[in-house]
Structure 1
């Protein structure tokens, strides 16, 4: 099982090399991350975007472009469509967002003719390595689905479980986040948490998946807090996946982990035919490298 982001890099280096295509690759941190991933034997890469800008950035920062195929597409929508098309026809295994809006890339991913749509809901999964937590923590969905219904949460959870299992988690423990542990009809997160727990007990999410809900954040990540409060659950303090009730909760927890707790992270969109590496334009090259490794491992093991 992969317990750290350095372990994730090692796993990506030792498996079959995957093929990455970047949409709108004219971004320095993206180029640095893709170059390092190539040099680390994680990926072969295709760069789609404004070729002049890509080559200027590479020359100014001593990045060797001879190791990549470069395809000129100056228009952002055209770049996104070309990147997705290459995955669709089997010339690449997964796609990464470069310097373009997420909505543009997702429009290409969902294109009816050359896109990567499936029957699954698209959802965002962030993976965090926090100093005070003993394993990787998967957080979903703080990036795409605004106020998911119970049906949406089933799909979001399926995607996160797939990503966790791709990283070697044979047993996956899920915490359905809420403000309290008792079901209260006035608090939909508690109702949905209980429903998802029951579904897991009935085998809906497959073997080796334990869902607890509703459960508050402290109990999900701290055995000490669970002991003090007399809360008993095999998930308490051992959570792999935190399922948040709304995008605001996920966004807030994620940014607190990044900016206050200085956690390292990687991000991916699940639910398409191939992983979509999605990170913020503000993320540094290290986060982008970890995200490439995450996409590579999921692509190889899904």
Structure 2
């Protein structure tokens, strides 16, 4: 934004300026954090008066701050300082309203270089007066012109994509899920929380005494929850798989056991859940500031996948992306470079995967590679490198070269970019929900939501 002020000598009585601002949900969150005013009346997802409906009323001082934006930016502009401000509130503004803040010069005082201005804020859609008032300011004497582009930006650490997934999944039938060894608070609590959100109906498979003790410690009621008492972890995993084979469970969920114990049972050639493709893992990540969910694969199962395995990794990820509402998933196959280099095997695999998708051997999405990380997710970086594909700079799915790269990328997004990660194993006959003990409630809920959305899309039953 280019800012140029109006000095005291330049100002004329009757002169007026205005600015428009769309009031968003994120504005209300930022204002709550900066001001310390956490009144739930002003939070988009909170019910501040108990009527069952979130109000999302814009705080009065937030609306008032729009007046100060006109004063500080355009009239009088840079160098202006407040002496006094009065407000009368006539209506309420809400998240989603576009507001027009306007100031008009009504008087100038040569003695102390002050200016009086009439101030108001109106809602653009119906011209409703939200507030009116009077400002008295010290106007600048010197001409100032500068750009505000260097002002640091803000990213709200809000996980809007997971919120949308929960809303999309909650109306579906609860996914009957065999939860294996939920014998500590995180795994049991996650399953019960997902049940409270009607995402899953858990069947708890494990040591009944430990599960009951854990529930008592948490103050949780297991009266209506089925428990299958099998103290041994390997046997519990096998029994959970059997519940799927018997048609009594539609998904599996990892509790307090080792991942290899769960996978050993699911991969058994006689009694397991193989479905023709390699088992692959997908992180569905909600990265603050990113306009879409980001899928990262494979970061947990296939250590150093060959080309054949990568075909399944890509296809499984595309299928999952379709399930969560991405109409035509854009898949970026990552390497260290964006050109094919015979000395970098991942660049060759990426090019082959791209060509295989072009020839219909991988379906449902757009696949391009090799792409470096920057030009996979940033359109400016892609343009700098002269890349014009529909995927470059817009990737929604990132296919990593190996488990090292995938694990590092996912954890960097989680611990540096404050992303949340939902984890799912695909390629089995049912979704396998794979959570970490470090995952918080939102990550566990999102994993269950993603599993439910994927299951019911594939079954055509939701």
Q: What's the TM-score, normalizing by structure 2?
A: 0.63
SS in 2 for 1:257: helix
* Residue 238 in structure 1 maps to residue 394 in structure 2: yes
1:194–1:213 Cα contact (<8 Å) kept:
yes
Rg larger for: 2
Question: Out of 376, 398, 422, which is 1:220 matched to?
Answer: 376
Please tell me the root mean square deviation across aligned C-alpha atoms, in Å. Answer: 1.3
CA distance in 2, matches of 1:162, 1:196: 16
Give matches, 1:16-55, under 5 Å: 16-55=173-212
CA distance in 1, matches of 2:174, 2:357: 34
1:133–1:221 Cα contact (<8 Å) kept:
no
Give matches, 1:92-241, under 5 Å: 92-207=249-364, 209-241=365-397
CA distance in 2, matches of 1:62, 1:271: 37
Structure 1: any 5+ residue segments left out of the alignment?
Answer: none
Question: Out of 246, 268, 272, which is 1:89 matched to?
Answer: 246
Deviation of the 1:260 alpha carbon: 1.1
Deviation of the 1:51 alpha carbon: 1.0
CA distance in 2, matches of 1:186, 1:23: 44
SS in 1 for 2:392: coil
Give matches, 1:271-282, under 5 Å: 271-282=427-438
* 1:267-287 per-position Cα deviation (integer Å, ceiling 9, x unaligned): 000000001111222323332
Deviation of the 1:67 alpha carbon: 3.0
SS in 2 for 1:273: coil
More strand, by proportion: 2
1:26–1:98 Cα contact (<8 Å) kept:
yes
* 1:29-57 per-position Cα deviation (integer Å, ceiling 9, x unaligned): 11111111111111111001111111111
Deviation of the 1:162 alpha carbon: 1.2
Higher mean Cα deviation, 176-185 or 24-33? Answer: 24-33
Tell me how many residue pairs correspond in the alignment.
Answer: 299
Deviation of the 1:221 alpha carbon: 0.9
More RCO (CA 8 Å, sep 6+): 1
* 1:190-231 per-position Cα deviation (integer Å, ceiling 9, x unaligned): 111111111111122224x11110000111111122233332
CA distance in 2, matches of 1:27, 1:126: 23
Question: Out of 6, 13, 17, which is 2:170 matched to?
Answer: 13
SS in 2 for 1:254: helix
Deviation of the 1:298 alpha carbon: 1.2
Deviation of the 1:23 alpha carbon: 0.7
Partner residue, 2:88: none
Partner residue, 1:252: 408
1:49–1:76 Cα contact (<8 Å) kept:
yes
| Ranges of 4+ aligned residues in structure 1 off by more than 6 Å | none
2:187–2:437 Cα contact (<8 Å) kept:
no
CA distance in 2, matches of 1:255, 1:13: 28
